[in-house]
Structure 1
Amino acid sequence: MKTNKIYAIMIVGLIALLTPSNAHAQQSGIKRTDLQKHDLSIPGKETVQARIDFDAHTSFGKHAHPGEEIIYVIEGSLEYQIEDETPVTLKAGEVLFIPAGKFHSAKNHTNAKASELATYIVEKGKPILVMKK
């Protein structure tokens, strides 16, 4: 009986690992489109690039990544909060660096769509993001 539970847990974990990373970021009003993913010359590291589109008045809750995130706002404006720091609002053409493991959130407070290009330099094999509990 215990063996069946262990197998079930392993299967659920494998399914979660193999599920495309864009499934993590699909919330109402937010769409994540993975653009590219490549191994880096640094052992155990990879880069993932994605476009995240925010409908008007939407937000993505506190989460962290197993590596650095570099954000470029493509259109509109977005407010970012990194842990307990003062929130910063970026408009199209502006950038933000988020250190590895720092919990952060993003909000579109406007009546227009906003989009960002997110580039992650992360540990290979780990989930691209972890939501704060």
Structure 2
Amino acid sequence: MQKKFLKNIPFEKVLELKNLVDYAERRVSSKTLVQRGDLSITLFAFDKGEGLSTHSAPGDAMVYVIEGSVRITIGQDTKVVLKEGQTVVMPANIPHALESIEKFKMMLIVVKPQN
């Protein structure tokens, strides 16, 4: 049997990312596709008004908006609004926060240094 590197996703099937994670009322839902020391790929669904408080990550974090829109603060001075199809990279070890403007879904890819 060949080793699989992705999880929680069917192989050899055409999929729409936005259909792989569901909204939950007043919650943030997630589905992890890859989780290892140097890389994580996770799909998220945020209900309107939900978010992630200020935090930092040990790797560069790329947000790709699949559906809806989100307000992201990066560091002290950078504030961006992302809509469907847009992406931004949040540098490693720089505090950032996310706040949903409306229901939104995103793919988060975090690339960390190898140990």
Aligned position for 2:76? 84
Amino acid at match of 1:87: K
User: When the two structures are superposed, what TM-score results if normalisation uses the length of structure 2?
Assistant: 0.71
d(CA) in 2 for partners of 1:114 and 1:85? 23
Q: Cα deviation per residue 1:15-74 (whole Å; 9 max; x = unaligned)?
A: xxxxxxxxxxxxx51122111135xxxxxx611100111001112100111111011000
* Structure 2 residue matching 1:87: 3-state secondary structure: strand
How far the C-alpha of 1:124 sits from its partner, in A, is 5.6
Aligned pairs, how many? 90
- Report the structure, 1 or 2, having the larger helix content: 1
Distance 2:48 2:35 in 1: 28
Corresponding residue of 1:36: 34
Q: Give CA-to-partner distance per residue, 1:100-131, whole Å, 9 cap, x none.
A: 00110001122xx2011000012468xxxxxx
Comparing 99-108 with 83-92, greater Cα deviation is found at 83-92
Which structure has the larger Rg? Answer: 1
Letter in 1 for 2:47: D
Which consecutive residues of structure 2, in runs of 5 or more, have no partner in the other structure? Answer: 1-25
- Give the letter for the 2:109 counterpart: T
Query: Which residue in 1 is equivalent to 2:59?
Result: 67
Within the alignment, does 1:103 sit opposite 2:95 as a pair? yes
The amino acid across from 1:31 in the alignment is S
Moved over 4 A (4+): none
Aligned residue in 1 for 2:39: 47
Aligned to 2:22: none
Counterpart CA distance in 2 for 1:56 and 1:124 is 35
**Identity among equivalent pairs (%):** 24
Matching of residue 117 in structure 1 with residue 110 in structure 2? no
Q: Identify unmatched segments of 5+ residues in structure 1.
A: 1-27, 39-44, 126-133
**Structure 1 SS opposite 2:38:** strand
**TM-score, scaled relative to structure 1:** 0.62
